[in-house]
Structure 1
Amino acid sequence: MEREKALRKVAQRGVIKLFNAVRAAQVKGEEAARTNQLKGTLGIDRRGKNVTEISKESFLDMISKSKEKS
């Protein structure tokens, strides 16, 4: 019973870290979108591509950073 409780706690921490990393990536993506809009990046395709690349990179960085902290 105690082992199951400990495993649930570990799983809950992992899910919390995952959701936090996803949210942080979303925020960075939104900021990048605003930055690109202010810079005057032309074309929806280019702007979308830039935002997607930034959010993927930041998401992967957040995941790797959370592994290092654990």
Structure 2
Amino acid sequence: EEYNNSGNDSEEDSDKEPPEVSIQEAYNALKTWLSFFKQQRSSDFDMKDTKILKKYSKIMSKMLLDSKKQ
């Protein structure tokens, strides 16, 4: 479910397309999330889950490299 902080659940808002996110922005956000995740000491954060985050980080890194070649 999408989080809406504005408290305004108008139909007009739900019809809008989400803003496009560049590969670079997504990659940076994922790297930030991975760093945050690794810093957590709570048992709610299972370090085995970093494997999936690292998987997508590698995929996105390749996408970034490919996009710069074009």
| Fold shared by both chains (TM-score > 0.5) | no
Q: Specify which structure has the bigger relative contact order, considering alpha-carbon pairs within 8 angstroms and separated by 6 or more residues.
A: 1
Which one has the bigger helix percentage?
1
TM class by shorter-chain length?
A: 0.3 to 0.5
Tell me the TM-score normalized by structure 1: 0.40
